[in-house]
């Protein structure tokens, strides 16, 4: 994030740090699956840009978790669990923000076997399938009622 964006950003520096911690707890990096965590710099930068129109809701949700910075990892996770249980609507705001930025990251998409591109203009292949499956249905008598 450039200094200018950092200066004008609607989330305070503390709230931004809190968001990064939450994102990393929600979707941590995984060596096993070869993916970064949601607190990765690139993904987090996307998050900061994306949240601007909903900054007030994000701030409120982050505040409801309580300060995480001073806590150790286990206590942070426990605070997040309490937050999910006690404020599901606020949790949904953070989930939507973190998940949307995470699952459009090119590295994550590749790890899922996807090409990192939008659907248009290339589109996708879908197999035609076997229409002979319909033979049994074709053999049925009519299902609709005649109407006077």
Partner 1 sequence: MQDTVDVLIIGAGASGAAVAWSLAETRMRIVCLEQGEWPNPARYPSTGMDWEARAMTEFGFNPNRRANSADYPINEDNSPIKIANYNGVGGGTVLYAGHFPRFHPSDFRVRSLDGVADDWPIDYATLAPYYGENDRMMGISGLAGDPAYPPKMPMMPPVPLGKAGTKLAKAFNALGWHWWPSDSAVATTDYDGRAKCINLGHCLHGCAQGAKASTDVTYWPHAIRAGVELRTRCRVREIATDGQGRASGVVYYDRDGKECFQAAEVVILACNGIGTPRILLNSTSARFPNGLANTSGLVGKNLMFHPYAAINGIFEEPLDGHRGPSNCIWSQEFYETDPKRDFVRGYTFEISRGRGPLVTALTGMSTGRIPWGEDHHRAFRRMFDRITSMVAICEDLPEMHNTVTLDPVLKDAHGIPAPKLDYTLSENSRRMLNHGIERGTEVMKAAGAYDVITQAPIEFGGWHLMGTARMGTDPDRSVVNEWGRSHDVKNLFIVDGSLFVTSAGVNPTSTIQALALYVADNIKKRLANLFD
Binding positions for partner 1, rule: CB under 8 A: 25-28, 30, 32-33, 35, 50, 77, 80-81, 84, 92, 95-96, 99-100, 102-104, 108-109, 112, 114, 116-131, 133-134, 136-138, 140-148
Nearest distance from C-beta of residue 138 to partner 1, angstroms: 6
Nearer to partner 1, 3 or 128 (CB): 128
Nearer to partner 1, 13 or 148 (CB): 148
DSSP 89-141: HHHHHHHHHHHHHHTT-HHHHHHTT--SS-STTT--------GGGGHHHHTSP
Nearest distance from C-beta of residue 140 to partner 1, angstroms: 5
Residue with tokens 């229409």: 131
Question: Cα-flanking dihedrals φ and ψ of residue 145, to 5°?
Answer: -90, 145
Residues 6+ away with beta carbon under 8 Å from 34:
111
Nearer to partner 1, 12 or 96 (CB): 96
């Amino acid at each position: 994030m450039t200094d200018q964006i950092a200066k004008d950003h609607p989330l305070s520096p503390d709230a931004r740090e809190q968001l990064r911690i939450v994102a990393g707890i929600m979707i941590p990096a995984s060596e096993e699956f070869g993916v970064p965590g949601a607190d990765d710099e690139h993904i987090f930068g996307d998050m900061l840009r994306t949240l601007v129109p909903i900054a007030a809701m994000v701030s409120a949700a982050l505040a409801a978790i309580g300060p995480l910075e001073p806590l150790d990892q286990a206590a942070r996770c426990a605070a997040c669990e309490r937050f999910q249980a006690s404020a599901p609507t606020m949790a949904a705001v953070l989930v939507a923000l973190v998940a949307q930025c995470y699952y459009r990251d090119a590295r994550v998409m590749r790890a899922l076997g996807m090409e990192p591109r939008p659907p248009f203009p290339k589109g996708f292949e879908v197999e035609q399938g076997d229409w002979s499956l319909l033979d049994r249905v074709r053999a049925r008598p009519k299902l609709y009622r005649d109407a006077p």
